[in-house]
């Protein structure tokens, strides 16, 4: 959908991504290594730029700002659009308070995963958006600017004459082909491009689908309808990324492999166009077969990120993963056979887990040819099925929107789970055969220079800490 540039009276829009950790300024601030700019904001920026708004962008995970510098930016903004994640909600509250302290006239709009998942109005905001605003954000700002009613737009919540209004419905884009390519030029000079602690230049990202039909009990991402972009539109956007000199691309779909025939069609087009890209994807283990993976490899896929979660079938069933341990083994084996690097995520701390479960995980990880690993301690995030269950039982209150597994909620204390986490990661990487295999794969996919960087991480033990940094990438970028 194209917008004709019009007179926006020089209005400024600030897109703001909050910090994943503590909200601090100046020398105390620390970089959170990120692969690319947050896709949700970058897609949202395009219609605003095309409509003539002056768009600025702050990402607190990569932008080091002095407090005075930050406040001066806030003072100039007519509209501030804030991404709200469940994990960053406390930071969002602080950001809103900062904005109000320096600019009482700016209009604050909140949206993103937290809003979509909880359908809660964000206190302090002028407008909370539920759903996908890509195609209506210009209309929303235009209506606000002209002081016209927002009644006709679904999925909005705001205060009117002191009363909280909730427009029925949720914003959902049925045809994703109407979405325009993201405005990565806003992030051109920012410090992105980190993958597993290693800086990679010429990295970009995009989506080919939105939504997920699965209902994992730990996931706080509500069941948004699964939709895909046409292969032609995906190819068009890839060409734009190549014009921007991209060499690596991450498809940030929740489940890129869900429709096998479509994936093969897309891979065939990439091969036919001779794009010569290196691609990373996220996929379920139960959607693996040799023909598909061979096609992925031929098209340039070098990494598949899996949500393995556990090597115990009872734990997988508890999480409602709808898959099996055997399918996990099969997927990793096929990926290894065709030469694709694999990255697996494990979750520990389920209330049914005992020490024997951790031993099964440890044995499984020693046996399978998985290349990279991250171990997460289970988080009960609102409004996941697990969180709702605890809330109904009175074990947590409505203000505890993210709770980490502990002795009260599992058979282990948080400290004990952290020790298990550390042991699993160290046991996994202290494996000469794995290191040799990974070195070979990396030399084929990334080149020799990347090997030296990675080996330095192994010898300095930073490989263990980098796993947590990679989790920030998953939280920040995969969820739109």
Cβ atoms of 202 and 218 within 8 Å: the answer is: no
Residue 42 scores a pLDDT above 80: yes
Picking from 22-26, 272-276, 360-364, which range would have the lowest pLDDT averaged per residue?
22-26
Residue 479: the pLDDT is: 37
Distance in angstroms (rounded) separating the CA atoms of residues 241 and 118 = 34
Residue 480: the pLDDT is: 37
Residue 473: the pLDDT is: 44
Q: How many CA atoms lie within 13 A of 365 on its CB side?
A: 28
Q: Mean of the pLDDT values across residues 380-386?
A: 92
Residue 20: the pLDDT is: 84
Closest-CA residue to 302 (of 275, 330, 281, 274): 281
- In degrees to the nearest 10, what's the CA dihedral of 27, 28, 33, 39? -90
Residue keyed to tokens 């809003």 = 115
Residue 466 scores a pLDDT above 60: no
Distance in angstroms (rounded) separating the CA atoms of residues 248 and 242 = 9
> What is the rounded average pLDDT for all residues in the chain?
89
Q: Mean of the pLDDT values across residues 466-480?
A: 44
Confidence of residue 59 (pLDDT cuts 50, 70, 90): very high
By CB atoms closer than 10 A (0-12, 13-18, 19+), residue 415 is exposed
Q: Mean of the pLDDT values across residues 425-432?
A: 91
Closest-CA residue to 300 (of 261, 334, 251, 373): 251
Distance in angstroms (rounded) separating the CA atoms of residues 30 and 265 = 42
Write out pLDDT tens, residues 64-104: 999 999 999 999 999 999 999 988 888 999 999 999 999 99
Distance in angstroms (rounded) separating the CA atoms of residues 384 and 431 = 36
Q: Which CATH superfamily is domain 193-478 in?
A: tm_1862 like domain (3.80.30.20)
Residue 194 scores a pLDDT above 90: no
- Number of helical (H) and strand (E) elements in the chain, helices listed first: 16, 19
Phi-psi region of 124 (alpha: psi -120 to 50; beta: other; left: phi over 0): left
Distance in angstroms (rounded) separating the CA atoms of residues 337 and 266 = 22
Residue 127 scores a pLDDT above 70: yes
Cβ atoms of 16 and 65 within 8 Å: the answer is: no
Contacts of 111 (CB under 8 A, 6+ apart): 81, 82, 83, 84, 128, 129, 130, 133
Confidence of residue 465 (pLDDT cuts 50, 70, 90): very low
Strand partners, 59: 17
CATH hierarchy code of domain 12-166? 3.40.50.280
Distance in angstroms (rounded) separating the CA atoms of residues 151 and 456 = 58
Residue 318 or residue 471, greater confidence:
318
Residue 194 or residue 44, greater confidence:
44
Residue 459: the pLDDT is: 52
CATH 3.40.50.280 intervals, the chain? 12-166
Strand partners, 81: 15, 109
Picking from 133-137, 228-232, 246-250, 434-438, which range would have the lowest pLDDT averaged per residue?
434-438
Tokens encoding 330: 């099969």
Strand partners, 158: 165
Rg (CA), the chain: 22
Q: How many CB atoms lie within 10 A of CB 326?
A: 11
CATH 3.80.30.20 intervals, the chain? 193-478
């Amino acid at each position: 959908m194209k917008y004709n540039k019009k007179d926006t009276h020089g209005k400024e829009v600030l897109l703001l991504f909050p910090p994943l950790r503590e909200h601090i300024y100046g020398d105390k601030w620390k970089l959170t290594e990120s692969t690319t700019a947050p896709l949700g904001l970058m897609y949202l920026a395009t219609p605003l730029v095309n409509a003539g708004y002056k768009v600025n962008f702050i990402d607190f995970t990569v932008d080091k700002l002095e407090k005075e510098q930050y406040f001066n930016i806030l003072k100039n903004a007519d509209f501030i659009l804030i991404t709200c994640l469940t994990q960053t909600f406390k930071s969002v509250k602080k950001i809103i308070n900062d904005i109000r302290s320096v600019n009482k006239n700016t209009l604050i709009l909140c949206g993103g995963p937290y809003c979509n998942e909880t359908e809660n109005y964000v206190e302090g905001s002028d407008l909370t958006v539920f759903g996908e605003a890509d195609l209506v954000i210009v209309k929303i700002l235009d209506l606000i600017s002209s002081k016209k009613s927002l009644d006709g737009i679904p999925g909005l919540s705001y205060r009117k004459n002191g009363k909280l209004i909730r427009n029925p419905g949720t914003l959902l884009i049925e045809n994703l082909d109407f979405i325009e390519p993201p405005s990565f030029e806003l992030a051109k000079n920012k410090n992105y491009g980190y993958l597993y602690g290693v800086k990679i230049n010429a990295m970009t990202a995009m989506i080919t689908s939105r939504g997920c039909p699965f209902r994992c009990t730990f996931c706080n991402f509500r069941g948004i309808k699964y939709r895909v972009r046409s292969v032609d539109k995906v190819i068009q956007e890839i060409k734009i990324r190549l014009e921007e000199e991209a060499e690596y691309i991450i498809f940030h779909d929740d489940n890129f492999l869900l429709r096998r025939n479509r994936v093969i069609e897309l891979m065939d087009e990439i091969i036919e166009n001779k794009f010569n890209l290196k691609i990373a994807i996220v996929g379920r283990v139960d959607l693996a077969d040799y023909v598909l993976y061979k096609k992925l490899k031929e098209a340039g896929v070098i990494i598949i990120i899996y949500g393995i979660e556990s090597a115990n079938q009872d734990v997988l069933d508890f999480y409602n993963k709808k898959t099996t341990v055997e399918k996990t083994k099969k997927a990793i084996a096929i990926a290894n056979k065709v030469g694709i690097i694999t990255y697996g995520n494990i979750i520990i701390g389920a209330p049914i887990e005992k020490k024997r479960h951790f031993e099964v995980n440890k044995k499984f990880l020693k046996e399978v040819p998985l290349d990279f690993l991250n171990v997460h301690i289970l988080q009960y995030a609102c409004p996941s099925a697990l969180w709702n269950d605890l809330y109904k039982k009175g074990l947590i209150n409505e203000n505890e929107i993210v709770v980490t597994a502990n002795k009260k909620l599992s058979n282990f204390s948080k400290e004990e789970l952290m020790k298990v986490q550390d042991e699993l990661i160290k046991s996994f990487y202290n494996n000469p055969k794995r290191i040799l295999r990974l070195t070979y794969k990396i030399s084929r996919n990334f080149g020799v220079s990347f090997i030296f960087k990675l080996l330095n991480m192994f010898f300095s033990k930073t490989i263990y800490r980098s796993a947590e940094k990679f989790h920030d990438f998953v939280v920040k970028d995969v969820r739109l």
